[in-house]
């Protein structure tokens, strides 16, 4: 085969769209299509379910209509993602890997709609159907957004400050033996205490409930980040320090250009762990004394037995935490790009 022939075929191999991949795309979205059809054609058997119209812009939509729109948007999104992924080998592999899960999600939505809304076999009002949960967004989307922004502001302050304090403490503990002697026992003792246990003291010491909640999030982020940062600094091979000293590196250079870069994988492990702790502490703090936030919204909805609103807030939390985890992963991937090809 000539060189010109290989060059002519390479673009097709790299960017071609395999016909067989169309079946994978259809399989990914057929579950969502089934969920829509089930909602349209299976009659409402259980009585007492009200499908009230809500004005969205210039359109009247009830909870069933909103459910169909959301499921249709999911189907369109995964259809578009499949078409986009079809032109790249790596993206095709990832998309194909999740095809079964997407199909299962569509079927699960159909069953949930049947058991929670159409038949109401699930205990009511504790387990509403997906359409009922979406009604919370139709009724008070502005209020849910307001509480979501409050949670994001509270989380951002606490998490960022916690990471800064944690990394700083970890570097000091890992580098200076005297700091390790005095601070490490305090870190080990206070770190195992749930952050929410400090709530009564935080509310007393800080001027506002917001500042108290920020303190609690800082505490729960500080422990894992500081511990793993210190471990990463202490585990830096001596050969790296000797090489840096030979090249004229001073103490600051050894810390910030040798020890900290070496500790970066462990630092991000601590940050990933801390993000889950921080989100849990955030919700609990909001439930126990905040004037807003998703935890506050859950508590208020629970008092009125509006469990469909509770589930709506839980869904928003799941989306938020997924986005936060994705952002942390993207930053980690950027900072640790030198690891590509070294790890599986």
Q: Give domain status of residue 12, yes or no.
A: no
Per-residue pLDDT tens, the chain, 344 aa: give them.
444 444 443 443 445 788 889 999 999 999 999 999 999 999 999 887 888 888 877 788 899 999 999 999 999 999 999 999 999 889 999 999 999 999 999 999 999 999 999 999 999 889 999 999 999 999 999 999 999 999 999 999 999 999 999 999 999 999 999 999 998 888 888 878 888 888 888 888 888 889 999 999 999 999 999 999 999 999 999 898 889 888 888 889 999 989 999 999 999 999 999 998 898 899 888 887 788 999 999 999 988 889 999 999 999 999 999 999 999 999 988 888 876 655 55
- The total of structural domains in the chain comes to 2
Considering the domain boundaries, does residue 35 fall inside one? yes
Dist CA 196 CA 198 (whole Å): 5
Same-domain status, 166 and 265: yes
| Stated pTM of the model | 0.84
**Residues 188 and 321 placed together within one structural domain of the fold:** yes
Token pair belonging to 331? 């930053």
45 within some domain: yes
On whether both 115 and 147 belong to a single domain, the answer is no
Indicate if 156 and 286 belong to the same structural domain: yes
How far apart are the C-alpha atoms of 103 and 138, rounded to whole Å? Answer: 27
Answer yes or no: do 85 and 167 share one domain: no
CATH of the domain at 329: 1.10.3720.10
Domain-embedded: residue 77: yes
Please identify, among 94, 122, 150, the residue that sits at the C-terminal boundary of a domain.
122
User: What distance in Å separates the CA atoms of residue 269 and residue 290, rounded to the nearest whole number?
Assistant: 30
Residue 136 falls inside a structural domain: no
Does 11 reside within a domain? no
Q: Are residues 112 and 158 part of one domain? A: no
Range of the domain at 52: 18-122
Whether residue 192 is found in the same domain as residue 329: yes
Task: Locate 290 and state its tokens.
Answer: 């905040």
Q: Report yes or no on 127 lying in a domain.
A: no
Residues 326 and 179 in one domain: yes
Please report how the helices 21-41 and 63-85 are oriented relative to each other, as an axis angle in degrees rounded to 10.
180
Assess whether 98 and 145 both reside in one domain.
no
Whether 117 and 145 share a structural domain: no
Task: Note whether 218 and 183 are same-domain residues.
Answer: yes
Q: Please report the DSSP string for 190-207 in residue order.
A: HHTS-GGGGHHHHHHHSS
Residues 155 and 113 in one domain: no
Is residue 215 domain-resident? yes
């Amino acid at each position: 085969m000539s060189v010109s022939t290989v060059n002519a075929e390479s673009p097709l191999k790299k960017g071609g769209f395999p016909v067989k991949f169309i079946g994978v795309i259809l399989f990914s979205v057929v579950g969502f299509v089934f969920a829509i059809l089930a909602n349209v054609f299976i009659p409402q058997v259980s009585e007492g379910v009200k499908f009230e119209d809500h004005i969205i812009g210039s359109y009247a939509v009830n909870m069933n209509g909103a459910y169909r729109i959301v499921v249709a948007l999911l189907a369109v999104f995964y259809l578009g993602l499949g078409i986009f992924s079809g032109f790249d080998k790596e993206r095709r592999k990832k998309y194909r890997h999740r095809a079964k899960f997407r199909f299962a999600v569509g079927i699960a939505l159909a069953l949930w709609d049947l058991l929670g809304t159409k038949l109401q076999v699930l205990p009511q009002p504790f387990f509403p159907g997906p359409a009922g949960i979406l009604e919370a967004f139709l009724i008070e989307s502005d209020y849910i957004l307001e509480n979501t922004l409050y949670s994001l502001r509270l989380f951002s302050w606490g998490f960022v400050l916690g990471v800064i304090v944690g990394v700083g403490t970890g570097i000091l503990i890992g580098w200076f033996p005297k700091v390790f002697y005095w601070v490490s026992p305090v870190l080990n003792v206070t770190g195992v205490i749930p952050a929410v246990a400090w709530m009564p003291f935080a509310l007393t010491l800080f001027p506002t409930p917001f500042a108290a909640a920020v303190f609690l999030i800082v505490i729960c982020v500080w422990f894992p980040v500081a511990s793993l940062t210190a471990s990463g600094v202490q585990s830096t091979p001596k050969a790296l320090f000797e090489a840096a000293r030979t090249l004229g590196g001073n103490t600051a250079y050894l810390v910030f250009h040798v020890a900290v870069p070496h500790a970066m994988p462990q630092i991000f492990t601590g940050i990933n762990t801390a993000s889950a702790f921080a989100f849990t502490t955030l919700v609990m703090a909001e439930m126990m004394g905040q004037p807003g936030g998703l935890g506050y919204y859950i508590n208020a909805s629970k008092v009125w037995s509006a469990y469909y609103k509770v589930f709506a807030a839980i869904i928003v939390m799941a989306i938020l935490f997924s986005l936060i985890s994705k952002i942390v992963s993207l930053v980690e991937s950027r900072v640790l790009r030198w690891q590509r090809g070294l790890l599986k």
